[in-house]
Amino acid sequence: MSKIFKGRVVVPGCVTLKALVTHSGFNTLASYKNCKEGKNICTDQNNKELYGKSTVGVALCLPQTIGSTTGGMVLFNSSVTNCNPGALLFSKQIDSLAAAGAILASVWTDNKIPTIDNLGNEFLDYVKDGMTITIKDDGEVVVD
């Protein structure tokens, strides 16, 4: 049975992807140390849910980003090198650095990262790794 959530659109896009979930803050700089063309394995040892997993092409479900002020540039660079998440789905409000990275990727590259925030705690409690997520342009997120 599908469950529908509604959030605020930061970067629009219609995609269907598999979920990768963390309940901890996502440290972009620590997570993308080994980002290479088309590949990235999360290197943030402090994020036990994501450490050692590929973050490429997934719907990354998270509460918020944390860490360095380079976070936006790291997200943008991940898009340039094709090792970006397929979408960013925030349970909380996105921070300005992550928003800047996602928006710049959509403007300056052909590798858009659809981004929705304010999906709520219920969203993050419900979604599990590997679930299918469909994102719509209006901020609707369907979890199967």
Residue 76 confidence class, pLDDT cut points 50, 70, 90: very high
pLDDT tens digits for range 29-53: 999 888 888 899 999 999 999 999 9
Query: Which token pair is 51?
Result: 């450490």
pTM of the model: 0.95
Residue 139 and residue 1 in contact, taking contact as beta carbons nearer than 8 Å: no
Whether residue 57 is predicted with pLDDT greater than 90 in this model: the reply is yes
Give bridge partners of residue 90 from the DSSP assignment: 62
What one-character-per-residue DSSP string does 56-93 give? TTSEEEES-EES-TTHHHHHHHHHHTT-S-SEEEESSP
pLDDT at residue number 61: 98
User: What is the structure's pLDDT at 36?
Assistant: 84
pLDDT for the residue 129: 98
